[in-house]
Structure 1
Amino acid sequence: MPQRAATIVGGGIGGLAAAIALHRRGWRVEVLERAPRFTEIGAGISLWPNALRSLEALGLADAVRALGAVEASGGVRDRRGRWLSRTDNGELARRFGHPLVVLHRADLLRVLAEALPADRLRSGSEVRAVRDDGQGVVVEHSGGASRPDLVVGADGLRSVVRGALWPDAAGPRYAGYSAWRMVTEPLAEPPAEGAATWGRGERFGHTALPGGRMYCFATASLPAGTAVGPSEHAELLRRFGAWPDPIPALLASVPEGAVLRHDLYDLPPLPTFARGRVALLGDAAHAMTPNLGQGACQALEDAVTLAHCLDGAPDLPDALRSYDLLRRPRTQAITRRSARLGALGQLSWPPAVLVRDTAARLMPARVTLRSMAPVLGWTVPGDRVTAAGSGSS
C-alpha cells in the first residue's frame, strides 16, 4: 500500500499526539501550527489515568511522568477551609493503574513535539481555507497548499476546519464564568495537599508542580468579555486575598504579570466528528469546561483512537466513521458532566451553596471515586479490557 499522508491542523496536545500515533504507523504527516513555535506558556495541566494510558500507547508515559508531580492527596474545601471531600491519589492509582500527574503544559508540548521529526512540524503556518474540490480535500495555508489523504482538525475551540466543513454547526457557548490560571515562584514550604476551595460564585484551586512551584486556578461568575482592573493579579487579590490559607500566600508568590484569564466555553454537540476524509479531535470536536480536568485527556484519547481506527483500514471514510462512533458519545457525555459540575461549583445563592456543601461532605470518598470510573477507566481500543464507560453521562 502506498504511504498515506495526513495533514494535522493545529499543533496543540491533541494534534501532536495524533501526528505521533500516525507517524509511528507509517503515515507521512505534517502538523500546521499558526503560532511561531510549538509551545504553551503560563499554566499547568492535570493528566488523569486515562490520559497516561493514552501516553503509554504513544510510548511517552514514562517521559511525561518524569516531568510531573504526584500529590498524596487533595480534595474540595468550603469557603472557611473545611474539607468537603478528600481524594487519595494512592487509591486512585491502585484502582485505575496510574496516579494523577500534574506538570507544566509547556513540558508536555515539548515531549510531544520532540517525538516527531522536526521537518514534520510547520510553525507559523496559518490555515486559510479547507475545501473539498471533488477530487479530495485541499488545505490552503500560508506555506502553500496540501492535498493529503486525511485531514485532522485539531485547531481548537474556534476551529477553521470545523467552520469550513461543518458550516451549520452551532458556535461555542459561554459557560457563565471566567477563569484565571497562574504558576507560583518556587516555595520554600509548598502546601502538602492540593485543594479546590468553593465559595459563592467563585472557586480557587491549587496543586503541586515539580520544583516547589504550585499551579493555581480560579473562577468567578462574570458576563462574557468583562474587563477587570487595574490588573488581573490585583483582581485576584481583591477576590481571594482573604480566603483560607494557603491561598493568600500562593497569590503573593505569583509574579504580577504571570496571570492568564480566559472566559470559559464549551461546544454544543456535533452530529458527527467525521466527514469524508476529515476528522475533528480535541476542542475542535468537543470543547469542554475544565471542571473534570479532562480537556487534554480526551484529546489524547481521541488521538490514539483515531490511529487505531485507521490502522490498516482499506477504506478511510469507513475508518473515520468508526472513530466517530467510538469518540462522540463518550466525549459529549463528559462535556455534559463537566458543565454540570461547573454549574454546581459556581452556585452563589446561599441556601443552594449550603445544600451543595452538605451533600459533598456526606458523600463517602469511595462513592466519589467509583463515580469517576466511567471517565478514568477508559482503555486503549484493542486492549483486552473493554473500554469503560464509553457512553457515560
Structure 2
Amino acid sequence: MASTQLHQRRPPSTTDQDQITPGNEPEQPLKVIIVGSGIGGLITAIMLDRAGIDYVILEKRPQHSTIGSAIAFTAVVLRVLDQLGLYEDIHAISKDFSQTRITMADGREIGILDGLFTQERYGYYNAIMARPDLMNALLSRVAPNKIHMGKKVLEVTEHPDGQTKNDPAGMVTVRCSDNRHVFFFFRYQAHLVIGCDGAYSAVRQRMYQILKEKGVNVPKADFAPFRFDMHCVVGVSKPLDPEVYPTLKKPYCEFEVILGNDLSYNIWLMPLNNNRISWMINGKMFTPKANNREEAKRQLEENFKASEWGEEAAEELCNMVRDFACPYNNTTIGDLIDNTPKTVISKVMLEDKMFETWHSDRIVLLGDGGQGATQAILDAVVLVDLLHELPSNSAKDISNALKRYQSKRFETAKAAVSASRQGGYLFSEKGWFMDLLRAFTFKYMPRWLYMMTSDRIQASRPILSFLPPVPDRGSVKAI
C-alpha cells in the first residue's frame, strides 16, 4: 500500500512555539487536491499557485490527450488570463476571430455575424486556437511534479475536524488506483478536493455517497441522465497549402458553418494558426427520457460508453458528409478529413445538464455538467478568490466558502447551459418559425440589438482580487 500526503507543515514562529501544547498544534497551510488535468483543472492549478496555495493534480489518463478541435476565448476570460500572465501564450497559439458565415449545404447563404468589434468594445479580439495547443501552453505553467498521471479515483473520505492526527482542522482523503502499479493503491490527503473531472465525474459520485451518509437529500434531478441529442466528430488538419485553402492567408479567423439541408447535421470549419483548419461535424441523435432511477442509471452508463466511441463510429459520421462541398477552392469535406491525422480525430457527445448539488463540506465541483472551458475558468476565479480569503481550514469555514461559491456562480452557469441549448436548437431545429429565427439572428438583426446582446454576454469580465489588476481596456466597461 503506497501513501502520499500533502503535508509540509510550516515552521512555527516564536509566538507559535510559546503556544504549542499537545493537541494544540498550529494549523497547516491550506492543501488542495485537484482531480482532472483538463483545461479547468490546469487553470485552477495556475490560480492556486498564484494564490500561494499548495496542490496536486490527479489524472486518471496515463498521458495527456492530443485530440480535440478548436476552442474560443472571449474577453470574458481573456482578461483574467491576461492577469495571470497567460495572454501572450494564448496570443502566440491563436488567431483573432473576425466573423461567422452560415450557409446551407446547397450553397444558400443565411447570414454573417461580425466579430471584429470586440477588441474596441471589450479590450480583446476573440481568440481561436486548437485545444491541444492550449493544453500544452497551460501544462508549461504547471510544475510536472504537481501532476500525478494514471491515478483513478476509487474513494473519497471526509474526516471531521479534530479526528485526524495529521491536522487538527480535519482533512479529506482520496484513494486511487494506478495503472502502472496494479497491486498498489495510493492515498492523498488535503483540506479540500476540487473535482475537475468532467461530465461523468467520479468525484461527484463519491460526494453523493458522503452526502447520503450524512442524511443530506440530493435532488432527484441530479441523478437523471444527461440531455444530449447531438454526437460530434472533431479534428485538426495537418498544415495545408494556402493556395488550395486561401482562407489561411487571411489575418483573421473566419468561421464557416454549413447546415445540412434536412438540418440533421452541421459542419463547422475554423482556420487556425500554422495553416491548419479545425473542423467539427455534428449529427443528430435521440435519447429517451428515463422513467425511473434504474432507467436513469442505465442511460448514464450507456452515455458514458458512447462518450468514448472509437474510430469506427467517427468514420461513420464522417462518411455522411464526405462528399459535401467545402467553401474553399472546390474542395470537399472529405479532402479536409483526409488531410487530418487519424490520431487526432475523435468522437464526442454534445451534452448539457445543470446539477443542483455542487459541494459537500470538503469536496467541490468545478466546470460541472459539461459547461465548457469558459465556465470552468469563471468558476475557478470565484472559487480561488474565496479560498485565498479563508479564515481557517475548518470544515465550517471551507463549507461556508463553497456555499458562497455556488451562490455566486449558479445563476450564471445555469444561463450558460440554457444558452448552449438554445444555440443547438438554432442550428438544428426544423420548421418555419426556426427558419425565420435563423434569418433574423444571422441576417436581419439590427446592429443596435446585436451590440446590446453582445454587451450583456460580455458584461462580466472578472479578475482575481489578490493579484494586481489589469486595465479594463474596452470602451464598454466590465461590471
For residue 384 of structure 2, what is the aligned residue in structure 1? 307
For residue 197 of structure 2, what is the aligned residue in structure 1? 155
Taking the aligned partners of 2:418 and 2:434, their CA distance within structure 1 comes to 21
For residue 173 of structure 2, what is the aligned residue in structure 1? 138
For residue 58 of structure 2, what is the aligned residue in structure 1? 32
Taking the aligned partners of 1:61 and 1:229, their CA distance within structure 2 comes to 35
Change (3 A) 1:231 1:337: closer
Q: CA deviation at 1:243?
A: 4.2
For residue 186 of structure 1, what is the aligned residue in structure 2? 239
Q: CA deviation at 1:221?
A: 0.9
After superposition, residues 65-76 of structure 1 pair within 5 angstroms as 65-76=91-102
Q: Check if 1:112 corresponds to 2:138.
A: yes
Change (3 A) 1:229 1:223: farther
Structure whose alpha-carbon radius of gyration is higher: 2
After superposition, residues 8-23 of structure 1 pair within 5 angstroms as 8-23=34-49
Q: Check if 1:340 corresponds to 2:436.
A: no
Taking the aligned partners of 2:275 and 2:332, their CA distance within structure 1 comes to 14
Taking the aligned partners of 1:368 and 1:33, their CA distance within structure 2 comes to 41
Q: What secondary structure, in the 3-state scheme, does the structure 1 residue paired with 2:223 have?
A: coil
For residue 33 of structure 2, what is the aligned residue in structure 1? 7
Q: CA deviation at 1:374?
A: 3.2
After superposition, residues 142-291 of structure 1 pair within 5 angstroms as 142=177, 144-166=186-208, 168=218, 169-189=222-242, 190=245, 191=247, 192=250, 193-199=254-260, 200-223=263-286, 232-233=314-315, 235-239=317-321, 241-243=323-325, 245-246=327-328, 248-254=331-337, 255=340, 257=342, 258-267=344-353, 269-282=354-367, 285-288=368-371
Q: CA deviation at 1:281?
A: 0.5
CA contact (8 A) 2:237 2:277 kept: yes
Taking the aligned partners of 2:174 and 2:34, their CA distance within structure 1 comes to 10
- Under a length normalisation based on structure 2, what TM-score does the superposition of the two structures give? 0.72
- The equivalent position to 1:79 in structure 2, one of 94, 105, 111, is 105
Change (3 A) 1:229 1:36: closer
| Counterpart residue identity of residue 278, structure 1 | I
Runs of 4+ in 1 over 4 A off after TM superposition: 224-231, 381-388
RMSD: 2.7
| Counterpart residue identity of residue 146, structure 2 | R
Q: CA deviation at 1:160?
A: 0.7
Q: CA deviation at 1:156?
A: 0.4
For residue 291 of structure 1, what is the aligned residue in structure 2? none
Q: CA deviation at 1:342?
A: 0.5
What whole-Å deviation, never above 9, does each CA across 1:301-340 have from its counterpart, x for those lacking one? 1112211111122132222222111111101111011111
What whole-Å deviation, never above 9, does each CA across 1:126-154 have from its counterpart, x for those lacking one? 11111224343221112511221111010
Q: CA deviation at 1:278?
A: 1.6
Change (3 A) 1:90 1:163: same
- The equivalent position to 1:320 in structure 2, one of 398, 402, 409, is 402
Change (3 A) 1:366 1:172: farther
- The number of residues matched between the two structures is 378
Identify unmatched segments of 5+ residues in structure 2.
Answer: 1-26, 162-170, 178-184, 210-217, 288-305, 392-396
Q: CA deviation at 1:172?
A: 4.1
Deviates more, 1:77-86 or 1:137-146: 77-86
| Counterpart residue identity of residue 137, structure 1 | V
CA contact (8 A) 2:366 2:380 kept: yes
Taking the aligned partners of 2:123 and 2:284, their CA distance within structure 1 comes to 36
Deviates more, 1:120-129 or 1:195-204: 195-204
Q: What secondary structure, in the 3-state scheme, does the structure 1 residue paired with 2:347 have?
A: strand
Change (3 A) 1:228 1:18: closer
Taking the aligned partners of 1:11 and 1:70, their CA distance within structure 2 comes to 26
| Counterpart residue identity of residue 251, structure 1 | G
Taking the aligned partners of 2:191 and 2:310, their CA distance within structure 1 comes to 47
Taking the aligned partners of 2:358 and 2:132, their CA distance within structure 1 comes to 27
Taking the aligned partners of 1:106 and 1:160, their CA distance within structure 2 comes to 24
Taking the aligned partners of 2:311 and 2:37, their CA distance within structure 1 comes to 33
CA contact (8 A) 1:184 1:250 kept: no
Q: What secondary structure, in the 3-state scheme, does the structure 2 residue paired with 1:157 have?
A: coil
Q: Check if 1:354 corresponds to 2:435.
A: yes
CA contact (8 A) 1:80 1:244 kept: no
